[in-house]
């Protein structure tokens, strides 16, 4: 009743338990010449001073007739839906934290979409109620939950300059609405016959689409948003670089914006960079830029440059983590091999003088082969580059001693050729 009076822009005054309605002079004959009638707002409808509000009564019939007599379709809208871009923006902005920067609208458009509301008289169990069936702009049925969330049950008239809808589009919605209503009636009462709606109204629901811009210094990144204006919510920014998402944004030292949790300081230089650009030193556990490290040829792990030391056996520079009692893990893991092992065949083929030695043991790192041979009284150690097969280190030692003596250049060729 309140909506119908407001929609028809009738003069009325709401009192304690009734609405005092002024009847236009041209319509007073319908109400026995009365200039005013009292519409009950409570259960005191038995009072003879109140106008009956049943569906068959003259008030309901007159209101329905007045509503349906309009040339243009009745336009209504959710009472509390956002009506301006600023309403959308402020709700979205509040979710974000931008270190030393700001969030602002990169663009936003509010578009009115026509939903349809069909209102039916429902007198089930002697309880007279108005039941609404809602149809979305695409002709689909609107669930009760979506209707509540969009505010379709709490509406207000659009009396001035309502959005336009083509008659063909309106008729398509009405056809879809009748189909949805018929299915609803049939599900509640299989024997029910199709009934006509009291009133059909177009509900104008605003849809918002646009983007948020996050700016820090001279750099800006964007996050698109789209949804019904009343329901649109802030979404976490998703980084195209790291794939991380979140509401807290920050920038690297060179100005790249990302989720704050994905930015960290290099523990060697202090530079703020993306966390994925840092490596972990296997010895100290520090998170540092790769440029301050090398990969240990034995462990294959990153290590700060000052955390390398030479293996007393093969003389390779390896991480301190790979050393034990001065020897690297590769030298401690030498395994006996046959002379037809492809790796030793390659080495002997390149350096024929080594073929005089037997009882070979071999280990390998990412960069070298460590080959050791044992004779009757002497031992030989050759560290050979994997790619070029060049001998990086050559040493000999007594079979009864654990120490090695590097081979002089003068003797080197004699042993290798």
Based on its alpha-carbon atoms, the radius of gyration of the chain, rounded to whole angstroms, reads: 43
Q: How many CA atoms lie within 13 A of 90 on its CB side?
A: 5
Give the per-residue pLDDT at 215: 97
Percent pLDDT > 70 in the chain is 94
Give dist(CA 353, CA 417) in Å, integer.
4
Residue 17: pLDDT band (50, 70, 90) is confident
**Predicted local distance difference test score (pLDDT) of residue 192:** 45
User: Mean of the pLDDT values across residues 166-184?
Assistant: 87
Residue 46 has pLDDT above 60, yes or no: no
Neighbours of 230 (CB within 10 A): 19
Q: Tally the C-alpha atoms within 13 A of residue 57's C-alpha that lie toward its C-beta.
A: 13
Average pLDDT, integer, range 245-262: 97
- Split at pLDDT 50, 70, 90, the class of 123 is low
Residues constituting the chain? 417
**Coil, helix or strand at residue 104:** strand
Q: How many CB atoms lie within 10 A of CB 275?
A: 16
Enumerate the domain spans of the chain: 2-69, 77-208, 278-325, 334-416
> Per mean pLDDT, which range of 75-79, 196-200, 269-273 is the poorest?
196-200
Res 324: pLDDT: 95
- Residue 43: the pLDDT is 67
pLDDT for residue 63 is more than 60: yes
The pLDDT of residue 219: 97
What's the pLDDT score for residue 125? 57
Mention every residue, 6+ apart, whose C-beta is less than 8 A from residue 371. Answer: 344, 347, 354, 360, 361, 362, 381, 382, 383, 384
Checking if the pLDDT of 342 tops 50, the result is yes
For 229-312, list the strands marked E by DSSP: 237-238, 245-246, 248-251, 257-259, 263-265, 272-274, 278-280, 287-289, 293-295, 302-304, 308-310
Structure confidence at residue 49 (pLDDT):
81
Mean confidence (pLDDT) of the chain: 91
Min mean pLDDT across 111-125, 276-290, 338-352, 362-376 is at: 111-125
What local confidence, expressed as pLDDT, does residue 191 receive?
47
pLDDT band with cut points at 50, 70 and 90 for residue 161: confident
Residue 127 has pLDDT above 90, yes or no: no
| Alpha-carbon torsion angle 384, 389, 395, 396, nearest 10 | 110
Across 386-398, average pLDDT: 95
Assess whether pLDDT exceeds 50 at residue 193: no
Q: What's the CA gap between 367 and 362, in Å, rounded? A: 14
**Cβ contacts of 139 within 8 Å, gap of 6 or more:** 172, 173, 176
Pairing of strands 368-374, 378-385: antiparallel
Q: What is the pTM of this model?
A: 0.75
Least-confidence region, from 51-55, 232-236, 342-346? 51-55
Q: Which of these ranges, 44-53, 116-125, 379-388, has the smallest mean pLDDT?
A: 44-53
Phi-psi region of 15 (alpha: psi -120 to 50; beta: other; left: phi over 0): beta
């Amino acid at each position: 009743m309140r909506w119908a009076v407001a929609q028809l822009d009738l003069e009325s005054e709401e009192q304690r338990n009734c609405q005092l309605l002024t009847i236009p002079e041209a319509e007073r004959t319908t109400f026995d010449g009365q200039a005013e009638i009292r519409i009950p707002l409570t259960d005191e409808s038995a009072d003879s001073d109140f106008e009956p509000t049943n569906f068959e009564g003259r008030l309901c019939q007159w209101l329905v007739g007045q509503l349906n007599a309009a040339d243009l379709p009745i336009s209504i809208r959710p009472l509390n839906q956002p009506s301006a871009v600023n309403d959308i923006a402020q709700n979205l902005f509040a979710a974000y934290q931008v270190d030393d920067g700001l969030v602002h609208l990169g663009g936003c458009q509010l578009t009115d979409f026509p939903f349809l509301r069909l209102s039916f008289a429902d007198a089930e169990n002697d309880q007279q109620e108005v039941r609404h069936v809602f149809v979305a702009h695409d002709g689909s049925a609107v669930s009760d939950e979506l209707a509540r969330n969009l505010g379709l049950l709490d509406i207000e008239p659009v009396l001035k300059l309502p959005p336009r809808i083509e008659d063909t589009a309106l008729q398509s919605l009405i056809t879809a609405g009748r189909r949805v209503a018929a299915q609803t009636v049939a599900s509640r009462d299989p024997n029910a016959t199709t009934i006509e709606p009291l009133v059909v109204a177009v509900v104008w629901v605003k849809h918002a689409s646009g983007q948020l811009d996050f700016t820090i210094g001279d750099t800006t990144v964007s996050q698109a948003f789209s949804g019904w204006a009343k329901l649109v919510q802030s979404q976490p920014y998703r980084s195209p670089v790291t794939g991380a998402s979140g509401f807290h944004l920050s920038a690297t030292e060179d100005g790249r914006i990302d989720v704050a949790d994905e930015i960290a300081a290099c523990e060697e230089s202090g530079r703020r960079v993306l966390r994925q650009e840092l490596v972990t030193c296997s010895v100290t556990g520090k998170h540092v830029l790769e440029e301050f490290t090398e990969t240990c040829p034995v462990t294959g792990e990153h290590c700060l440059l000052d955390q390398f030391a030479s293996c007393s056996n093969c003389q390779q520079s390896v991480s301190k983590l790979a050393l034990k009692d001065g020897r690297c893990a590769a030298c401690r893991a030498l395994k006996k091999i046959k002379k037809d092992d492809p790796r030793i065949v390659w080495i002997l083929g390149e350096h024929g003088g080594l073929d005089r030695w037997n009882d070979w043991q071999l280990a390998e790192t990412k960069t070298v082969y460590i080959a050791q041979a044992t004779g009757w009284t002497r031992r030989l150690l050759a560290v050979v580059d994997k790619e070029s097969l060049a001998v990086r280190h050559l040493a000999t030692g007594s079979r009864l001693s654990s120490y090695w003596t590097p081979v002089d250049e003068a003797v080197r060729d004699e042993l290798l050729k």
